[in-house]
């Protein structure tokens, strides 16, 4: 059984053939998945003079070398073949006038290395092809409109089944010895996010409640440039590729924000850029992305951004775009080994809900669709030979009741403050105390999950990648190297 139908879940389902797969998801098709919303593309060393080892090096630098090096090398080495595989399925990657793959550049990459499809519509294009492939795969049965409610464990403690429910609240119990969690991220727990509504962390909460270990749960990536709508939790992304094409971040007075903060300026790793904007905001300033210098040919790569801006009455060819940091990606998740197996026998995880260590403390741009394809295919292939003989469920685990709506609002404000781009021990402690003091929150699955995120962030007193402690002092920020030592980023 595979839960979640983003790119990672679909790839597992396809690659597991001919073993029968039951695919369970809330929605069906690209809509509602974070994968389909991805504007960035897929990073792969396919350009002239590029090598997987250069891609791996950039992944490690962005991840503050907190990465699992073997996983990074495997990902970078597999990336060119992943592009070939997607081409063979019919993904229409963008090409230049000579027919070569067009390569874009994004933050943290030392060169143009990102392939796109439909300009900034890569996720949508990929999902359309993969959804069609899964729809026509005879070995996959797809049950949509379903949510995972509980995990059943057998006498030996292995996964033996799941309880799912439909939109009318009817539940079903299904036996399975292999459960793959591909349930995505946690952005919907925060005040602002680029993730869809379904990215609420429910899958992660359930896996942790069932006893699977978590890893690196404190590492949460804020994308520097979500479109700053006046209200609303779910903000459209303004892709980093715009900065790769020459757009710059400016304040209200039009002065560039990034020079002097990092040698790569606007193309610094996104944690660095997000912190710069967050500081500017705390000082009362707004941030704009000035893309007016892009020519018509460049704008043809960004139909999605043009549409987002048009819907808000902005013409980005004439006016700067208002932007704000928003939660974008969870580097932490269910701890998995190189085979995608969690510490709970029979529970596997892949994509954003999993933590293999590949992203370290901060994910490099355009490595997430890549991870979904590479790790999804690898996990599906490994599970191909399994046996479906199921043991009996002896014990059911659920994640706890949902928090009431008002408590969820309290929680998202608290998490945004405590787990934002700039963190402090005081805010983290205050967040933990506030959850414990609120019985409705403390007993809810959202509250329990929040405590699992806050506790390691409090315990990690030093800054590392996306986890930046303003109270750690110069010694604590040593891993930020150039950024902190030479450019005085220490608060
Ligand atoms: C972006 O297009 O800026 C985001 C790409 C990514 O998340 O890797």
In this structure, are 307 and 204 located in the same domain? no
Cα–Cα dist 74/430, whole Å:
40
In this structure, are 230 and 339 located in the same domain? no
In this structure, are 227 and 96 located in the same domain? no
Tokens for 24? 């369970």
Q: Output the CA 208–ligand 1 centroid distance in Å.
A: 28
Q: Whose CA is nearest to atom 2 of ligand 1?
A: 40
- pLDDT by position in tens, the chain (length 491): 999 999 999 999 999 999 999 999 999 888 889 998 888 899 999 999 999 999 999 999 999 999 999 999 999 999 999 999 999 999 999 999 999 999 999 888 999 999 999 999 999 999 999 999 999 999 999 999 999 999 999 999 999 999 999 999 999 999 999 999 999 999 999 999 999 999 999 999 999 999 999 999 999 999 999 999 888 899 999 999 999 999 999 999 999 999 999 888 999 888 999 999 999 999 999 999 999 999 999 999 999 999 999 999 999 999 999 999 999 999 999 999 999 999 999 999 999 999 999 999 999 999 999 999 999 999 999 999 887 777 899 999 999 999 999 999 999 999 999 999 999 999 999 999 999 999 999 999 999 999 999 999 999 999 999 999 999 875 555 444 434 433 344 33
DSSP 8-state class, residue 398: -
Residue 391 CB neighbours (<10 A): 17
Give the domain range for residue 239.
Answer: 220-327
Ligand 1 touching residue 183 (CB < 6 A): no
DSSP 8-state class, residue 337: -
Q: Which CATH number characterizes residue 283's domain?
A: 3.90.700.10
Q: Let me know if residue 481 belongs to a domain.
A: no
pLDDT value for 476: 52
Q: Which residue has the tokens 């007016």?
A: 292
Tokens for 427? 């805010």
Ligand 1 touching residue 239 (CB < 6 A): yes
Q: What is the DSSP string of 49-78?
A: T--HHHHHHHHHHHTTT-S-HHHHHHHHHH
In this structure, are 190 and 129 located in the same domain? yes
Ligand 1 touching residue 365 (CB < 6 A): yes
Residue 362, CA distances (Å) to 64, 123, 219 in order:
7, 20, 7
Tokens for 209? 């409640």
Ligand 1 pocket test target in 43, 58, 237 with most atoms within 8 Å of CB: 237
Q: Let me know if residue 489 belongs to a domain.
A: no
Ligand 1 touching residue 37 (CB < 6 A): no
In this structure, are 121 and 168 located in the same domain? yes
Cα–Cα dist 232/241, whole Å:
24
In this structure, are 133 and 15 located in the same domain? yes
Lateral strand order in the sheet of 42-43: 42-43, 114-115, 103-104
Distance of CA 455 to the CA centre of its chain: 21
In this structure, are 275 and 312 located in the same domain? yes
Among candidate residues 105, 146, 270, 448, the one labeled active-site is: 270
In this structure, are 312 and 332 located in the same domain? no
Question: The whole model's pTM is what?
Answer: 0.95
| Of 280, 232, 227, residue with least CA distance to 120 | 227
Q: What is the DSSP string of 267-289?
A: GS-HHHHHHHHHHHHHTT--EEE
Q: Let me know if residue 467 belongs to a domain.
A: no
Cα–Cα dist 490/475, whole Å:
10
Q: Whose CA is nearest to atom 4 of ligand 1?
A: 40
Tokens for 293? 């210098």
pLDDT value for 475: 52
270 is catalytic: yes
In this structure, are 6 and 148 located in the same domain? yes
CA dihedral sign, ordered 226, 361, 262, 245 = negative
In this structure, are 153 and 228 located in the same domain? no
In this structure, are 70 and 201 located in the same domain? yes
Q: Let me know if residue 104 belongs to a domain.
A: yes
Q: Let me know if residue 148 belongs to a domain.
A: yes
Q: Report the domain count for the chain.
A: 3
């Amino acid at each position: 059984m595979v839960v979640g139908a983003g790119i990672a879940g679909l790839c597992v389902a396809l690659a597991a053939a001919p073993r029968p797969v039951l695919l369970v998801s809330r929605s069906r098709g690209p809509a509602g998945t974070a994968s389909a919303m991805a504007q960035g593309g897929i990073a792969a060393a396919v350009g002239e003079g590029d090598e997987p080892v250069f891609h791996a090096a950039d992944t490690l630098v962005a991840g503050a070398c907190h990465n699992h090096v073997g996983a990074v090398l495997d990902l970078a080495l597999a990336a060119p073949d992943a592009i070939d595989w997607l081409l063979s399925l019919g993904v229409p990657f963008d090409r230049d006038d000579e027919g070569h793959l067009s390569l874009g550049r994004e933050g943290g990459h030392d060169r143009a290395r990102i392939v796109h499809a439909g300009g900034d519509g890569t996720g949508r294009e990929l999902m359309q092809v993969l959804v069609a492939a899964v729809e026509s795969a005879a070995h996959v049965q797809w049950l949509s409109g379903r949510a995972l409610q509980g995990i059943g464990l057998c006498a030996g403690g292995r996964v033996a089944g799941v309880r799912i429910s439909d939109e009318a609240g009817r539940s079903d119990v299904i036996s399975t010895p292999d459960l793959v969690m591909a349930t995505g991220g946690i952005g919907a727990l925060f005040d602002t996010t680029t993730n869809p509504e379904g990215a609420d962390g429910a899958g992660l909460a359930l896996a942790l409640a069932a006893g699977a270990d978590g890893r690196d749960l404190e590492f949460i990536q804020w994308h520097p440039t979500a479109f700053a709508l006046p209200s609303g939790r779910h903000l459209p992304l303004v892709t980093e590729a715009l900065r790769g094409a020459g757009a710059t971040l400016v304040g209200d007075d039009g002065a560039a924000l990034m020079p002097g903060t990092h040698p790569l300026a606007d193309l610094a790793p996104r944690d660095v850029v997000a912190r710069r904007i967050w500081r500017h905001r705390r000082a009362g300033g707004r941030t704009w992305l000035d893309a007016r210098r892009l020519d018509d040919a460049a704008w043809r790569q960004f139909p999605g951004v043009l549409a987002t801006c048009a819907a808000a009455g902005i013409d980005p060819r004439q006016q700067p775009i208002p932007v704000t940091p928003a939660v974008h990606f969870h580097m932490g998740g269910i701890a998995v080994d190189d085979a995608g197996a969690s510490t709970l026998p029979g529970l596997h995880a892949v994509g954003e809900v999993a933590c293999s260590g590949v992203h370290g403390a901060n994910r490099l741009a355009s490595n997430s669709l890549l991870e979904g394809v590479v790790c999804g295919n690898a996990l599906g292939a490994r599970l191909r030979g399994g046996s479906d003989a199921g043991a009996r469920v002896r014990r059911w685990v659920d994640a706890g009741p949902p928090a009431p709506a008002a408590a969820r609002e309290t929680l998202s404000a608290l998490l945004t403050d405590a787990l934002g781009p700039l963190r402090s021990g005081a805010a983290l402690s205050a967040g933990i105390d506030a959850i414990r003091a609120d019985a409705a929150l403390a007993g809810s699955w959202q509250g329990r999950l929040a405590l699992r995120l806050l506790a390691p962030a409090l315990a990690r007193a030093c800054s590392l990648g996306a986890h930046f402690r303003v109270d750690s002092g110069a010694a604590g920020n040593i891993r930020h190297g150039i950024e902190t030592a030479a450019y005085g980023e220490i608060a």
